Amino acid sequence: MKYLDEFRDPKIARKLLDEITAAITKPWVIMEVCGGQTHAIIRNGIDQLLPQEIELVHGPGCPVCVTPLEMIDKALDIASRPNVIFTSFGDMLRVPGSKKDLFVVKSEGGDVRMVYSPLDAVKIARKNPDKQVVFFAVGFETTAPLTAMAVWQAHQQNIDNFSMLVSHVLVPPAMEALLGSPDNRVQAFLAAGHVCTVMGWEEYVPIAQKHKVPIVVTGFEPVDILEGILMAVRQLEDGRAEVENQYARVVKREGNRPAIEVIRKVFQVTDRKWRGIGEFPRSGFALRSEFEKYDAEKRFALGDISVEEPPECISGLILQGLKKPYECGEFGRRCTPQTPLGATMVSSEGACAAYFAYHRQKDDSVEKN
């Protein structure tokens, strides 16, 4: 991995840290939007290396964390039915619904399969014409082109036993909502590089202008993140609020046109509920009416599903950058990756799981068990 080593080089990292320290004159709060970045920050110990003036807060960008509990319960309901093959990306399998998770459904005899691509789910549907094959379409703009492609393929090939439980969410509306909140503390954003790879960064320009926040499109390696922070700090110190692209080796201003096209063909923008935070207008994708027959929620009569979140879980506040995981009373006590109470603990990219796995010493009272 020659190409990657460069972005993990300790010498370049050190130099960027020195430049950040030299550039900074006062405290700033910067939010990394994406769970992948949170994970990289904690995993590499970047937060401990930064000057004290910088407070990094973790954003809502973990698709597993923000998938509403009732959606997971719907998935469990469908997956438990006979004659259904339920497919999903790996990290959704362990997310608990109100009572169990997909692994438990599998242990009870449900046909639950992990796939690396939704296109594999279409293949499974083709091979099993007597079964209903369902794919759990979770994720941000990053995974949307592939899920859209799967629906498109099923449509082209007249595969009728395939459907999707769609819970796609979109990042820019969530950023807008956070900035509009009276509690907002975020002064600059590191925008999620992967999302911008697909969608480009044009849509961030009005957000940066309206709310006067610097937004730096940032990659996922340590050097990417440090460089993104440096660019954000420089803007903050200069009083600028622009969209800059740290991840130019991958992200183009206009994004990936063919990917955007297939998304537009299959999905339309819709209001969506984010777990722990609430409903944001126009913050998700849903299937267009011409593809309705691939909508698993319509295909399976699911009845009413009402759910209750554990009241002690503060993951909503964590996802908005208002609290840190170790400020939760259950962190490392009742709530661990093995017995998660909230989704920020169950998803390996959730902030609680990242702190638990890599950083427990932040809270000395937490014993390793």
Partner 1 sequence: MGKTIKPEDLKCPLPITGHDTIQLSHGSGGRMSNELISKLFVWAFDNPALRKQDDQAVVEVNGLKLSFTTDSFVVDPIFFPGGDIGDLAVNGTVNDICMNGATPLYLSAGFIIEEGFPLKDLQAIVISMKRAASEAGVQIVTGDTKVVNKGKGDKIFINTAGIGLIEHGYDISSSNLKAGDAIILSGTIADHGIAVMSKRENLSFETPITSDTASLNRLVAEIVRVGGVHAMRDPTRGGVAATLNEFAMASHVGIRIHEDRIPVKPAVAGACEILGLDPLYVANEGKLVAVVSPDKAEAVLAAMKKHSLGVDAVIIGEVVSGQSGMVSMTTRIGGQRIVDMPVGEQLPRIC
Residues near ligand SF4 (CB under 6 A) are: 312-315, 318, 325, 328, 330-331, 335, 340-342, 344-345, 352
Q: Does 14 bind partner 1 (CB under 8 A)?
A: yes
Q: Edge-to-edge, what's the strand order for the sheet holding 162-169?
A: 111-114, 84-88, 132-139, 162-169, 278-287, 267-274
Identify which of residues 19 and 309 has a Cβ nearer to ligand SF4 in the complex: 309
By beta-carbon proximity to partner 1, the closer residue of 103 and 317 is 103
Nearer to ligand SF4, 2 or 368 (CB): 368
C-beta closer to ligand SF4: residue 221 or 330: 330
Q: Is 29 exposed, middle or buried (0-12, 13-18, 19+ CB in 10 A)?
A: middle
Which residues, 6 or more positions from 342, have their beta carbon under 8 angstroms from its beta carbon?
276, 309, 310, 313, 314, 315, 335, 352
Position 18 contacts partner 1 (CB under 8 A): no
| Among the listed residues 83, 107, 157, 209, the single contact to partner 1 using CB under 8 A | 107
**Residue 335 binds which entry of partner 1, ligand SF4, none, with Cβ cut-offs from 5 to 8 Å by kind?**
ligand SF4
> What residue 309 binds from ligand SF4, partner 1, none (CB within 5 to 8 A, per partner kind)?
none
Contacts of 73 (CB under 8 A, 6+ apart): 97, 98, 305, 307
Our finding on whether 349 is near partner 1 (CB under 8 A) is yes
Judged by CB under 8 A, the stretch of 237-245, 252-260, 295-303, 360-368 that binds partner 1 is 360-368
Q: Taking Cα atoms as reference points, which of 287, 279, 284, 288 lies closest to residue 141?
A: 284
- Helices (H), strands (E): how many in the chain? 18, 11
Q: Which stretch binds partner 1 (CB under 8 A): 4-12, 257-265, 279-287, 313-321?
A: 4-12
For the record, the structure tokens of 317 come out as 């506040």
Q: With contacts defined by CB under 8 A, how many residues of the chain interact with partner 1?
A: 50
- The verdict on 42 binding partner 1 (CB under 8 A) reads yes
- The residue from 63, 172, 200, 228 that contacts partner 1 (CB under 8 A) is 63
Structure token pair of residue 87: 């497919």
Question: Which of 30, 36, 97, 200 lies at the binding interface for partner 1 (CB under 8 A)?
Answer: 36
Q: Which is nearer to partner 1, 147 or 187 (CB)?
A: 147
Task: Determine the Cα angle at 54 with ends 49 and 55, to 5°.
Answer: 100
307 contact choice in ligand SF4, partner 1, none (CB below 5 to 8 Å, kind-dependent): none
Question: Residue 306: phi, psi to the nearest 5?
Answer: -115, 145
Taking CA atoms, 217 is separated from 235, 251, 279, in Å, by: 13, 8, 25
Q: Quick check: 311 binds partner 1 (CB under 8 A)? A: no
State yes or no: residue 83 binds partner 1 (CB under 8 A): no
SS3 211: helix
- List the single partner that 48 binds among ligand SF4, partner 1, none, CB under 5 to 8 Å by kind: partner 1
The smaller minimum CB distance to ligand SF4, of residues 150 and 352, is found at: 352
- Contact of 67 with 138, CB cutoff 8 Å: yes
Extended strands (E) in the chain: 28-34, 54-61, 84-88, 111-114, 132-139, 162-169, 188-192, 215-218, 243-245, 267-274, 278-287
Contact 214, 230 (CB under 8 A): no
User: Which residues make up the interface to partner 1 (CB under 8 A)?
Assistant: 1-2, 4, 8, 10, 13-14, 36, 42-49, 63-64, 89-94, 103-104, 106-108, 114, 116, 138-140, 142-143, 194, 222, 337-339, 348-349, 356-361, 368
